[in-house]
Copies of this chain bind each other. A is one copy, B any other.
Amino acid sequence: MHNAHRNKAVITLWLGILGFLGSNLLQAAEDSPPPLPVEEIGNVVRLPASYPEHWMMIDEASFFSMYGGKVIILDVLEKHPAKRIKGMVHKNLLGNFTQHPSKPEFYVLESFHERGWRGKKTDVFVVYDRETLKIQKEIVWPTHRMQTLPQRYTMAVTGDEKFIVAANFTPAASFSVVSVDGHELLSTIGTPGCVLTYPTGKRSVSSLCSNGGMLTTVLDRKGQVKAQHRIEPFFDSDDTPIFERPVIVDQQAYFPSFKGKMHHFDFSGEVAEYKGSWSLVSDEEAAANWRPSGLGLIDQDEQGLVYVIMQPDGAEGTQTHGGSQIWVFDVAKQQRLNVIDVPNWAITLGVTRGKEPKIVVTNGELVLDVLDAASGELIQTIADFGNVTPLMLHKSY
């Protein structure tokens, strides 16, 4: 992190209260140190183009004042409370957020009324530069973006890293495609009955459907629709609902059901392929109603381990309320490796990048607990970082 020096003349406005004169410096007693120098005005911090592994991007939904939503860039291992915040960007009215994995930029899709809450509504897609947190480009959106509580897959970057796809909901469902090169809006593609944008293969997008199936939309090199494929229903949206929030490990997607079944999709090909399901819970645990629960209830580390918030005594209606434990799975082996008791409930979790991952948890008091992923031990609790409702946690890149 270094400063961008702007060579701006120091202009001070007030006559009479300023008495700084060069001659004063000369009059300083020889024994006393010289006075502090006049400092430059206009300096602004610059961030690195690639963020350290222990930073997280906190989606502060600002649920009580949605005009003030923001993404807070936070160093979750910093011990000094005052030095944890690295920067913030605005994200209006439950704006959507995603990041490019290798290019130093991220994206916010947000809505504005001409007068705060009234007047013409405009949705805009905004490209932020990671180093300056300045807007590189703004695209006026062609339709109504999806506006919900924060999700990881309302927007995504495609497998080839060349397109950003973003879900719309008017309430008819569609998604729009933006090029990474040049940031041009390329197309808007209807996905009747199916929502969200799970990156699939190189240039495909899968969406989850009301009939319990999946729809994969294949894009061509110009970001236009090439084909759409419907995958037959694999769950019942009334009786055996799943979370719309999968974890995707090496293009293998895992969608937990409300009751703890794990549905596996292969997203590595051009079209999503259903690979069956297995259970996160034993028969005993199922009888005790141990269930996945939470908002951002699932994430993975870079070693491929998957972390899921689990609640005991789950019931109809408690599916997003969070839980008291985090279960760690090797999803390839369909094996539970560890159980972590969280210190103070867990509503959302996010896992940092790197070989020594940390679990960051939005706890029951809506502040963050940082846990060591291996030992489960509490490293620190982070409150007071400009937060009110930090509902979703993203890795940084």
Q: CB within 8 Å of B: which of A110-143?
A: 110, 112, 114-118, 124, 135, 138
Shortest distance from the beta carbon of A394 to any chain B beta carbon, whole Å:
21
Number of interface residues of A (CB under 8 A): 20
With A62-B65, A64-B68, A65-B68: A114-B112 Cβ-Cβ less than 8 Å? yes
Q: CB within 8 Å of B: which of A176-208?
A: none
Shortest distance from the beta carbon of A145 to any chain B beta carbon, whole Å:
14
What is the bound-complex CA distance between A388 and B68, given in angstroms?
14
What is the bound-complex CA distance between A117 and B67, given in angstroms?
10
With A65-B65, A68-B64: A118-B135 Cβ-Cβ less than 8 Å? yes
Q: CB within 8 Å of B: which of A69-110?
A: 90, 92, 110
Which residues of B sit under 8 angstroms from A117, Cβ to Cβ? 90
Chain A 357-391, CB-CB to B under 8 Å as 1, else 0, gives 00000000000000000000000000000101000
Complex contact B92–A116 (CB within 8 A): yes
A66 touches B (CB below 8 Å): yes
Complex contact A90–B65 (CB within 8 A): no
Which residues of B sit under 8 angstroms from A62, Cβ to Cβ? 65, 68
What is the bound-complex CA distance between A212 and B65, given in angstroms?
40
Q: Which of B64, B90, B135, B138 contacts A116 (CB 8 A)?
A: B90
Which residues of B sit under 8 angstroms from A114, Cβ to Cβ? 112, 114
Other contacts beyond A66-B68, A67-B68, A90-B118: 18, CB < 8 A: A62-B65, A62-B68, A64-B65, A64-B68, A64-B386, A65-B65, A65-B67, A65-B68, A90-B116, A90-B117, A92-B115, A92-B116, A110-B116, A112-B114, A112-B115, A112-B116, A115-B124, A115-B138
Per CB-CB distance, the 7 closest pairs between chain A and chain B, nearest first, are: A65-B68, A67-B67, A65-B65, A92-B116, A112-B115, A67-B68, A90-B117
Would you list 19 pairs from A and B whose C-beta atoms are within 8 A, ordered by A residue? A62-B65, A62-B68, A64-B65, A64-B386, A64-B388, A65-B65, A65-B67, A65-B68, A65-B388, A66-B68, A67-B68, A90-B116, A90-B118, A92-B115, A112-B114, A112-B115, A112-B116, A115-B124, A115-B138
